[in-house]
Chains A and B, each alone.
Chain A
């Protein structure tokens, strides 16, 4: 099992560019989520999904889109990157709707200039 994989590991964008952060898991978890981590702010939930075809907003959803067409994949789209989106992004998955341990990916460090 690869667990939770994220690509890319590092990315630099210019303001206004769009991109997709990829996240995949091979554990058949129905619950997947995206967090951003900023200094002093902890982990803040961006979007989450309780199954294929079902997504919902977290605490800081503005500027991000998600979709969940399969159980395995949960991509995060930045529509028009802004410097405020410079952060480290973590994808996570869990079974039983998040009632159990979250398995985190290694993170993507994004810089928007």
Chain B
């Protein structure tokens, strides 16, 4: 069965530090989709990125970057030069192509960026 593990429950950094949020997934499918979402203190869920299993290119968007490695079943998220506005809970999620149509989320990592 598909599974997403975010081992870091909470992370606290000081502004301008770099921080990496880990995501490890399990699936038997060869085709699947990985996602990251952000949930700021206001509570809404904000989509950050989507990756399919055939695209292992790393992606950079401003201060955000994602490292997808199929060999280690990981899809890690790095924030460079963190800011207080990055404080949020971050969720990693997995959708398999075949079998179940479920989208499964990890338990989330709460990031606190202190000034």
Task: Tell yes or no: B63 within 8 A of A by CB.
Answer: no
> Interface size of A by Cβ–Cβ distance < 8 Å?
28
Is A101 within 8 A of B47, CB to CB? Answer: yes
A42's contact among B43, B47, B91, B97, by CB below 8 Å, is which? B91
| Closest CB in chain A relative to B46 CB, distance in Å | 8
| Chain A residues, CB < 8 A from B43 | 88, 106-107
Measured CA separation A45–B101 after assembly (Å) = 11
> Interface size of B by Cβ–Cβ distance < 8 Å?
23
Is A100 within 8 A of B45, CB to CB? Answer: no
Task: Tell yes or no: B104 within 8 A of A by CB.
Answer: yes
Measured CA separation A103–B46 after assembly (Å) = 8
| Closest CB in chain A relative to B75 CB, distance in Å | 16
| Chain A residues, CB < 8 A from B108 | 42-43
Task: Tell yes or no: B25 within 8 A of A by CB.
Answer: no
B103's contact among A56, A102, A106, by CB below 8 Å, is which? A102
| Chain B residues, CB < 8 A from A98 | 95, 101, 103
Task: Tell yes or no: A33 within 8 A of B by CB.
Answer: yes
Is A101 within 8 A of B103, CB to CB? Answer: no
B88-115 CB mask vs A (1 if < 8 Å, else 0) is 0001010101000111111110000000
| Chain B residues, CB < 8 A from A42 | 6, 91, 105-108
Task: Tell yes or no: A21 within 8 A of B by CB.
Answer: no
Is A43 within 8 A of B105, CB to CB? Answer: yes
Is B107 within 8 A of A41, CB to CB? Answer: yes
Is A40 within 8 A of B107, CB to CB? Answer: yes
Is B103 within 8 A of A45, CB to CB? Answer: yes
Q: A92-B45, A100-B33, A101-B50 are in contact. List 10 more A-B contacts (CB 8 A).
A: A31-B101, A42-B108, A43-B105, A44-B105, A45-B103, A45-B104, A59-B104, A94-B103, A101-B35, A104-B44
